[in-house]
Structure 1
Amino acid sequence: MYKKLEIIERAILLNPQYIQAFREKLKITQSKLAKESGISQSHLSMLEKGKRQATKLIATAVTLGLLKCFSSNNVEDPIIELLDTLSLLKFEDTFADFVYEIIEKGDKRYLRMIEGCPVLIISKENLLNEMKNRLKVIDVESIELSRGKIRVLGKHLDNKHVEIFLDCSDVRRLEKKFMKKTGKKVIIQVFPKEEVPPIYSTNKDCIIIHCW
């Protein structure tokens, strides 16, 4: 159990802005988390905005605060819930890095120009291979795409199965990460192969990312 908590603590220590993502994904208010963590709401707000660095003590306090919030909501295994959420956030960050590299390098395997705008078309197979190589928090085993949604199956470091599910709200958050990373406006569309519009000339399940 303690090793799992340390994974969460380290993530918060290295990137305090994850705190807000944890809260929003898990539907916890800033005031409630601040109270359960034993720190002021203003301090927590500055951490979330990247205006203050987290210390080991603060990262531990926030992690325990998240667990307390979960306990009050009768969640069966709050530590696993936190790890699953961390896996989701790490998947998003890793995906954003991948997209940024495609744009920076002008990688023609994925990049097309359609009506004067760059469009990235990433097949399910290519995304799976990239995530397998890049994502260290979990061992990705498969990726499934349906209209507007992404489902990732894999295993945590302790060999327990994990499912990452990105719904429409998660995809919108992912768009914001792409925009921050690339400096461009971004729209993400997820298509199973039977629904891909002819303009994209692909017959595979794919993620289509428009940048302008």
Structure 2
Amino acid sequence: MYDKLKIIERAILLNPENIKVFREKLKITQSKLAEESGVSQSHLSMLEKGKREIGEAHAAAITLGMLKCTNFWDKENPILYLLDVLSLTKLESAIVEFIQDLTSKNDIFCKRYIEGHPVYIIDIKYFTEEIKKRLSVMDIEEVDFFRGRMNIRGLHLDKKTVLIQLDCSDIRRLENKVSKVLNNKTVLQIFPKEEVPPIYSIKKDCMIVHCW
């Protein structure tokens, strides 16, 4: 099992494009990170664009470079912050991938039509099972749906508890990501079972995906 630093290194090693995600969240310029990591800026740029492969030595150097650039007074623990950033980023990607797969199937059981537009009604159990399959940076233990938001609780690879809370602004960001991938306008709605509108004929916590 990886310790916290190794999780970040592993994330960079598996996909160097994560460097840009971490760097932007920590508000580190590319030139500053290159300087502190001992990597040329042009090489770092190619890594961030996915145009160069990365080795373990560079992944470790860049991870330490991020720590050297980070103001410890801004973050109680920059590594834990990066782990949370990684979990949120990967979670959003997993949800987008799930919806993309869902909408590519014609005979999917949760597909309906309202005024000619496809609507996908996903109960919380099915959503949880599908996201678990796609998310490797954390083990999901519990998902809670609220009106317009959701909480996802689980464990990092180092067994640290993590709680990801997607509020309304996060759901809107997800909508934009899904809309770009599907090339269709997409609306995501989250409902607890007590508030699911009768038009959807479901009595469970659910996510409703509208595409047109």
Give the structure-1-normalised TM-score: 0.80
Counterpart amino acid of 1:121?
Answer: I
Contact 1:9–1:59 (8 Å) recurs in 2: yes
Question: Which residue number in structure 2 is paired with residue 4 of structure 1?
Answer: 4
Report the CA distance between 1:16 and its aligned residue. Answer: 2.8
Question: Which residue number in structure 2 is paired with residue 30 of structure 1?
Answer: 29
Report the CA distance between 1:35 and its aligned residue. Answer: 5.0
2:202 match: secondary structure? coil
Question: Which residue number in structure 2 is paired with residue 136 of structure 1?
Answer: 136
Question: Judging changes above 3 Å, is the alpha-carbon distance between structure 1 residues 168 and 42 closer, same or farther for their aligned structure 2 residues?
Answer: farther
Report the CA distance between 1:191 and its aligned residue. Answer: 2.0
Higher mean C-alpha deviation, range 29-38 or range 190-199: 29-38
User: In 1, distance between residues paired with 2:58 and 2:148?
Assistant: 37
Higher mean C-alpha deviation, range 191-200 or range 120-129: 191-200
| Structure 2 gaps, min length 5 | none
The aligned length equals 211
Aligned counterparts, 1:5-154, within 5 A: 5-24=5-24, 26-31=25-30, 33-34=33-34, 36-39=36-39, 44-154=44-154
Report the CA distance between 1:151 and its aligned residue. Answer: 0.9
Aligned counterparts, 1:190-209, within 5 A: 190-209=190-209
Report the CA distance between 1:199 and its aligned residue. Answer: 2.5
Q: Percent identity?
A: 54
Question: Judging changes above 3 Å, is the alpha-carbon distance between structure 1 residues 68 and 114 closer, same or farther for their aligned structure 2 residues?
Answer: farther
Contact 1:102–1:110 (8 Å) recurs in 2: no
Report the CA distance between 1:38 and its aligned residue. Answer: 4.7
User: In 2, distance between residues paired with 1:67 and 1:53?
Assistant: 22
Counterpart amino acid of 1:79?
Answer: I
What is the alpha-carbon root mean square deviation over aligned residues? 2.8
* 1:54-90 residue CA offsets vs partner (Å, 9 max, x unmatched): 4444433332233234443342222222122212222
| Structure 1 gaps, min length 5 | none
1:86 match: secondary structure? helix
Higher mean C-alpha deviation, range 8-17 or range 84-93: 8-17
Counterpart amino acid of 1:30?
Answer: T
Question: Which residue number in structure 2 is paired with residue 189 of structure 1?
Answer: 189
Question: Judging changes above 3 Å, is the alpha-carbon distance between structure 1 residues 84 and 116 closer, same or farther for their aligned structure 2 residues?
Answer: same
